[in-house]
Structure 1
Amino acid sequence: MPRAAIRLGRWAVLAAACLLLSGAPAPAGSPQWQLVYDGDPLKGSGSRMVFLEAEGELLLQIGDGAMAPTFWTLVGDDWRRRLIPLADMPPGVNKPSLAYDSLRDRLVRFGGYGRDGTSNETWEYDGQSWIQRTDVGAPPARGRAGMAFDSARGVMVLFGGYGDEELGDLWEYDGVAWVEVNPPGDRPPARRDHSMAYDAKRKRIVMAFGRTELAPALNETWEYDGLAWIKAPPQFGVDPRADAPLAYDPIRERVYTFGGALVGAETRYWDGSFWQLVAPAASPPARAVASMAFDGTRGELVMFGGDDGVDALADTWVFDGTTWTEIGPTDDPPGRVGFGMSFDSRTEQAVVYAGWSCCGQVDYDDTWEWDGREWSEALVSLNPGKRQSNAMTF
């Protein structure tokens, strides 16, 4: 096979993110696909992140419901693709609930919006493969719900979200069955796009922010101790927000949040009654719908991606309790789909132009070249403009 065809074939696979083929083994001597470059996670708001304690790895899921999810682990300061056979993957969904069961060493995923509608499926990942659990007794289908694992009681706690309507129900999952819980006393109003985290020091689920059909953003905070909901005092001076991630830092024994819709680049922590403002020496830009989790291997909070209201983001930041630091490669093209690609036999480089990001949020008009080892951006004075699903040939 000509050298150009070999290099183009390899590049086409990595660029389209179609890196894994399933089916019968190929005949001996036949051409084989080979991964030559991991790439980077796609931009967009369709990401969820958890720390797998048993493996000591931070796992990032990218997906928007229109394509199979991709999974990444943070190795040092770089994201590495975790290849999972397509036959073992759960359906792609957008805005599912993900949380890690530290007692059973299982990542649990519930719900989300997919091609076939809103899901109420429960899936578990044991570090090797995904397994669909029974849906008997499962909560009604939904996405945009909050979920966190209560390690003291050994149950996953799910609240709210949006299915056919806005929801305000409370459910617990012990790894065998889902049970709806109706604690006495006051309870939070129905909501979506809120966040939940388990405060291990205080042994309470913390639920904050979100939005309702009547309010584009909320600033109230509730706690759940397994017996009742407790509403926190009014948060004067804390702007309402939605899609603000929450994560518990066991070293500093605090629940942190960053940004969110309708607010700036704020870092705050929950002291049990108020969201205290942190003044880090450096900070990520403002954003909403980012993913955030505590990396037990690094001993830091890690935040990925999100949306700044203009552009989808794919940057990675770590927070050590004092300041934020950006990590990861800076010389790679942003992840994309629907781009044009061809091979330039004069320069022996594959060329990619334009395309769009995950979840259809950003159209590109940049040009990149791949020489078989590394990327370089081609700075041109004139181009055809932003577009997607474009064709190219040499």
Structure 2
Amino acid sequence: MAKLLWTQKQDIGPRPRYAHAMAYDAARRRVLLFGGDSLAGHLFNDTWDWDGSDWTQVEDLGPGPRGGHSMAYDSIRNRTVLFGGNSGGADLNDTWEWDGSAWTQMQNAGPAARAFHATAFDAARGRVVLFGGQPSGGGAPLEDTWEWDGEDWSQVEDSGPPPRSGHVMTYDRVRHRTVLFGGAGTGAAFSDTWEWDGTSWRHVEDVGPRGAVGAAMVFRSKVSTLFGGITTSAGSAPRELFGLTWEWNGTHWTARQDMGVGPRLGHAMAFDSGRGCVVLFGGVTVPPESTGAATSVKGDTWEHADVTSPGGPGGGGPVTGILGSVTAAPDPVMRGGSLTVTVSLAGPLTTPVVAVVDCLGVRQLMIPPMLLTGSTQFPVPQVLPMPVPASLPITATGPDGVSVSTTVTVV
């Protein structure tokens, strides 16, 4: 079993919490964190960002205090979309967007109020996908699928995975699929894996991680990475917390032996594509309904990358990989024009390199042996789902899973 080294980066920043949400803002190169539950009678409504070295509180206005909400980053409109959660007295169905400086409430209609649902941004279709969750009033978990286009929610499916809450989702930007794992209905946690292609759900696997509730999952350039969780959401014994990382490549799950982060649930993760690393914060190391669980809520920050930084694990240097840089021209680029994206290698190689380029869509770029660069063109739509001028993030990911990124201005 391949080992995976986590490095603790900070234990200073946001207060310890559980059931918060995080997303990576590619345009601003920051991991965004909002809300969560102290398990001591206090819900948070603070907004923080992580730059790879330090946490900074950037806002304490916007959505009300909550836990069990979801966030997904819309890389086309450069907005982080937040939906729902539990306010302590009731579940919520409000939709908010973060533009890098302030929260704006977008809607109070759409999916029914819920918590412990999951969302992911489908970059190929420009939609935030939502599935399931625990409805207000403590009824049976939901099994509906909704999509947010930046203006309205639309229900697109009412069949697929069985009803559940506490599941996790992420978007596979290479295969253009939203991946769902785990969660629970009314008892034991599910161990099934499903994929959404924009039209229908497909049940793709039952073998791999044990059934888990309250895990976290991100897409890490080539694979979907799952960490943590607990065996069941019910109060029945036995209950086991997980501290193992699993990777889904679209065909099968592979376990990785973790070193560093201990078993937990209700944590949050985001993939920092600019630095090529997974960022994890918080969670709780005992079942959340346990007596004294508040003393086991964590406020620690961890990272792992597939390629060691120059200073060794935790050395603080930039992550280096096969790709050296990505550039785009012209900058600024006009709507209706064409953008040339050039990917450069860190050094000459003797075998072809396939880079995954994400810019108004995802495509693969092959760089032939012994050449240091390769280019591809992206048409810029005349009509964009964002106000202009706008900063457009561009990311290129090498076969080693390490990403390089840049931005251009669209006018």
Tell me the number of residue pairs that the alignment of Structure 1 and Structure 2 aligns.
280
Q: Report the alpha carbon displacement of residue 116 of structure 1 after superposing the two structures with TM.
A: 5.3
The secondary structure found in structure 2 opposite 1:112 is strand
Is this contact kept in 2: 1:42–1:62, CA < 8 A? Answer: no
Percent of aligned positions with the same letter in both sequences? 36
Say whether residues 1:272 and 2:250 are aligned partners: yes
* CA distance in structure 1 between the partners assigned to 2:313 and 2:303 by the alignment: 5
Say whether residues 1:244 and 2:219 are aligned partners: no
Question: What's the TM-score, normalizing by structure 1?
Answer: 0.67
Give the counterpart of 1:287 among 235, 260, 264: 264
Is this contact kept in 2: 1:52–1:59, CA < 8 A? Answer: yes
CA RMSD of aligned residues (A): 2.3
Q: Render the CA deviation track for 1:145-194: whole Å, top value 9, x for unaligned.
A: 010000001101000001132111110110111011127xx611000000
Q: 1:122 to 1:79 in 2, by over 3 A?
A: same
Q: Render the CA deviation track for 1:10-44: whole Å, top value 9, x for unaligned.
A: xxxxxxxxxxxxxxxxxxxxxxxxxxxx9621112
* CA distance in structure 2 between the partners assigned to 1:245 and 1:278 by the alignment: 15
* CA distance in structure 1 between the partners assigned to 2:173 and 2:226 by the alignment: 16
* CA distance in structure 1 between the partners assigned to 2:278 and 2:44 by the alignment: 27
* CA distance in structure 1 between the partners assigned to 2:166 and 2:314 by the alignment: 26
* AA matched with 1:245: A
* CA distance in structure 2 between the partners assigned to 1:272 and 1:296 by the alignment: 20
* CA distance in structure 2 between the partners assigned to 1:46 and 1:276 by the alignment: 26
Unaligned runs of 5+ in 2: 1-10, 231-239, 287-292, 317-411
* AA matched with 2:197: D
Q: What does residue 131 of structure 2 align with?
A: 159
The secondary structure found in structure 1 opposite 2:114 is coil
Q: Report the alpha carbon displacement of residue 232 of structure 1 after superposing the two structures with TM.
A: 1.4
* CA distance in structure 1 between the partners assigned to 2:76 and 2:299 by the alignment: 31
Q: What does residue 182 of structure 1 align with?
A: 157
Q: What does residue 254 of structure 1 align with?
A: 223
Q: Report the alpha carbon displacement of residue 94 of structure 1 after superposing the two structures with TM.
A: 1.3
Say whether residues 1:198 and 2:174 are aligned partners: no
Q: What does residue 280 of structure 2 align with?
A: 303
Say whether residues 1:109 and 2:82 are aligned partners: yes
Q: Render the CA deviation track for 1:233-273: whole Å, top value 9, x for unaligned.
A: 321x53211111000112xx111011111343111100213
Question: What's the TM-score, normalizing by structure 2?
Answer: 0.64
Q: What does residue 303 of structure 2 align with?
A: 318
Q: What does residue 377 of structure 2 align with?
A: none
Q: What does residue 101 of structure 2 align with?
A: 128
Q: What does residue 140 of structure 1 align with?
A: 112
Matched ranges for 1:297-376 at <5 A? 297-309=274-286, 311-321=296-306
Is this contact kept in 2: 1:41–1:62, CA < 8 A? Answer: no
Is this contact kept in 1: 2:35–2:45, CA < 8 A? Answer: yes
Give the counterpart of 2:26 among 53, 56, 72: 53
Is this contact kept in 2: 1:107–1:125, CA < 8 A? Answer: yes
Q: Render the CA deviation track for 1:322-352: whole Å, top value 9, x for unaligned.
A: 6896799xxxxxxxxxxxxxxxxxxxxxxxx
Select the structure that is richer in strand.
2
The secondary structure found in structure 2 opposite 1:187 is coil
Q: 1:67 to 1:187 in 2, by over 3 A?
A: closer
* CA distance in structure 2 between the partners assigned to 1:289 and 1:134 by the alignment: 26
* CA distance in structure 2 between the partners assigned to 1:76 and 1:239 by the alignment: 31
* AA matched with 2:255: L
Is this contact kept in 2: 1:239–1:263, CA < 8 A? Answer: no
Give the counterpart of 1:173 among 125, 140, 148: 148
Give the counterpart of 1:76 among 52, 57, 70: 52
Q: Report the alpha carbon displacement of residue 290 of structure 1 after superposing the two structures with TM.
A: 1.0
Q: Report the alpha carbon displacement of residue 68 of structure 1 after superposing the two structures with TM.
A: 4.9
Greater relative contact order, per chain length (Cα 8 Å cut-off, separation 6+): 2
Select the structure that is richer in helix.
1
Structure 1 or 2, whichever has the larger Rg, is 1
* CA distance in structure 1 between the partners assigned to 2:307 and 2:178 by the alignment: 24
Q: Report the alpha carbon displacement of residue 318 of structure 1 after superposing the two structures with TM.
A: 0.7
Unaligned runs of 5+ in 1: 1-37, 329-394
* AA matched with 2:132: G
Q: Render the CA deviation track for 1:302-326: whole Å, top value 9, x for unaligned.
A: 1111111151111111111268967
Q: 1:256 to 1:284 in 2, by over 3 A?
A: same
